[in-house]
Amino acid sequence: MKKFLPFLFVASLVACDNSGKVKADVDTTVNDVKNSKIIDSVEAKGGRILDTVKNQGQVLLDSAKQKTDRATDNLLEKAEKGIHDLRKKDSVR
Strand stretches in 1-93, DSSP E: none
Domain that holds residue 84: 37-93
Residue 7 counted as domain residue: no
- Alpha-carbon span 70 to 64, nearest angstrom: 10
Position 88 in a domain: yes
Structural domains in the chain (count): 1
pLDDT in tens, 69-87: 999 999 999 999 999 988 8
pLDDT band at 56 (very low <50, low <70, confident <90, very high): very high
Report field, pTM of the whole predicted structure over 0.85:
no
Q: Is residue 60 part of a domain?
A: yes
Question: Can you give the pLDDT at residue 70?
Answer: 94
Chain mean pLDDT for the chain: 80
Q: pLDDT tens digits, residue range 36-54?
A: 888 888 888 888 888 899 9
